[in-house]
């Protein structure tokens, strides 16, 4: 799912990047470079450091980032930079070098960044994005029934339920009667916690406490639980396999982490990217904005999250082997549990073909 849209506005830029970008720190698209003046560059740095100081989830780390970047400014490291792209990349690199936070990034747009308060996308923002997100099917790339009655759903990003709930429901209802389910998050860069909870609701029969998110600016902690969802659920105790890669990031990691800690399924693939800090966007110049992690996930079972470590798979295999591996594991488990002679015969044939 390649990004082909410009920044729509400050907050939605982070939403789009988090949900559907090809890498966690990528810009939504490769936009035209432009020349920055020394005055613009200095102003952007000052504004970026203020946004970090006011909002970054760990105040002590925010202070360390501010100190490190100011030292680099004083030593003249930014003095020769005239390219907007090079400037955004260096500032991002310098900030991440201190924080090790892959969510923290600076973006640019030669066409300018509209005025709006920093923070999450508004309802109006989301409606402006609806047309483009429809073209990428609200992050749901595939919903299939594989041989042996294995359900398969590939999710590239978690968009807000206000936009993607109907598509999510259609995908999950389609696989509700499978004997095993594979959820492919190998190219999932994250997105909206509400959609993660929405999709996970189809994997449980009762209310389950999934995750908490603490916000530094407000000091509040929001709980996320499974909820009532339309149509049949996959639910119960049927097997679930979640595919991951090194590119699985943020909300994609939360989904896998929740499944693992709740012992609802088996994680197959590679250790994920290691980003557990929700991000808001802030305008830091006429043509620049910064995504600042303002919150952190707190799993109710472990009391921590996957920041900096990623989610370790239960079955460690290269990402390109994860689907075949999960299919084989699913068939083997189904063979042990099925009492239907026809189903058993079909599974045996499928396993013999793959051996």
Stretches in the chain below the pLDDT threshold 70:
1-30, 116-120, 355
Which residues, at least 6 apart from 106, have a Cβ–Cβ distance to it below 8 Å?
Answer: 44, 48, 87, 88, 91, 92, 95, 284, 288, 289, 290, 291
The rounded distance, in Å, linking the Cα atoms of 252 and 272 is 9
> pTM of the prediction?
0.89
pLDDT of residue 5: 28
Residue 28 is predicted with a pLDDT of 46
- Residue 115 near residue 135, CB atoms below 8 Å: no
202/197 Cα distance (integer angstroms): 9
Give the count of alpha carbons within 13 A of 180, CB side only: 26
Tokens of 247: 């590119």
Neighbouring C-beta atoms of residue 223, cutoff 10 Å: 12
Set out the domains of the chain in order of their start, with CATH numbers. 10-123 (no CATH), 138-277+294-326 (3.90.226.10)
Q: What is the pLDDT of residue 27?
A: 45
User: Which tokens is 152 given?
Assistant: 């398969």
In degrees and rounded to multiples of 5, residue 137 shows phi and psi of 55, 35
Q: What is the pLDDT of residue 253?
A: 97
> Which pLDDT does position 14 carry in this prediction?
45
Residue tagged 């693992």 (tokens): 260
Q: Give the three-class secondary structure for 112.
A: coil
CB atoms within 10 A of CB 218: 10
Find out whether 282 and 118 touch, Cβ atoms under 8 Å: yes
Query: What is residue 23's predicted lDDT score, i.e. its pLDDT?
Result: 40
pLDDT at res. 354: 73
pLDDT tens profile 56-98: 999 999 999 999 999 999 999 999 999 999 999 999 999 999 9
Give residue-wise pLDDT tens across range 310-338.
999 999 999 999 999 999 999 999 999 99
**pLDDT at res. 120:** 67
Q: Whole-angstrom Cα distance, residue 234 to residue 201?
A: 9
> Which residue carries 């920055």 as its tokens?
36
Q: Tell me if residue 142 falls in helix, strand or coil.
A: strand
């Amino acid at each position: 799912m390649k990004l082909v849209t410009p920044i729509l506005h400050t907050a939605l830029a982070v939403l789009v990047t988090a949900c559907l970008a090809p890498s966690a720190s990528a810009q939504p698209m490769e936009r035209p470079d432009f020349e920055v003046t020394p005055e613009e560059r200095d102003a952007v740095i000052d504004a970026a450091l203020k946004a970090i100081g006011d909002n970054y989830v760990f105040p002590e780390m925010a202070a360390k980032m501010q100190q490190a970047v100011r030292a680099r400014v004083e030593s003249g490291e930014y003095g020769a930079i005239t390219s907007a792209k090079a400037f955004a990349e260096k500032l991002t690199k310098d900030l991440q070098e201190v924080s090790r936070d892959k969510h923290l990034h600076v973006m640019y747009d030669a066409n300018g960044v509209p005025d709006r308060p920093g923070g999450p996308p508004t309802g109006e923002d989301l409606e402006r994005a609806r047309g483009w997100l429809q073209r990428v099917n609200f992050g749901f790339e595939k919903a299939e029934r594989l041989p042996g009655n294995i359900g398969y759903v590939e999710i590239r990003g978690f968009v807000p339920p206000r936009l993607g709930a109907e598509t999510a429901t259609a995908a999950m209802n389609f696989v509700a009667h499978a004997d095993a389910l594979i959820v492919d998050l190998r190219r999932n860069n994250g997105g909206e916690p509400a959609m993660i909870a929405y999709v996970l609701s189809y994997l449980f029969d009762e209310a389950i406490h999934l995750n908490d998110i603490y916000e530094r600016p407000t000091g509040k902690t929001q709980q996320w639980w499974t909820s009532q969802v339309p149509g049949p659920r996959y639910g119960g105790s049927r097997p679930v396999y979640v595919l991951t890669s090194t590119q699985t990031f943020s909300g994609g990691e939360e989904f896998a982490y929740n499944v693992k800690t709740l012992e609802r399924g088996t994680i197959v693939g590679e250790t994920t990217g290691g980003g557990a800090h929700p991000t808001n966007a802030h305008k830091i110049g006429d043509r620049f904005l910064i995504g600042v992690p303002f919150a952190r996930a707190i799993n109710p079972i472990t009391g921590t999250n996957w920041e900096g470590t990623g989610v370790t798979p239960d079955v460690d295999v290269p990402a390109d082997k994860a689907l075949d591996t999960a299919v084989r594991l699913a068939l083997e488990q189904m063979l042990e549990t099925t009492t239907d002679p026809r189903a058993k015969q079909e599974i045996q044939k499928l396993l013999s073909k793959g051996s």
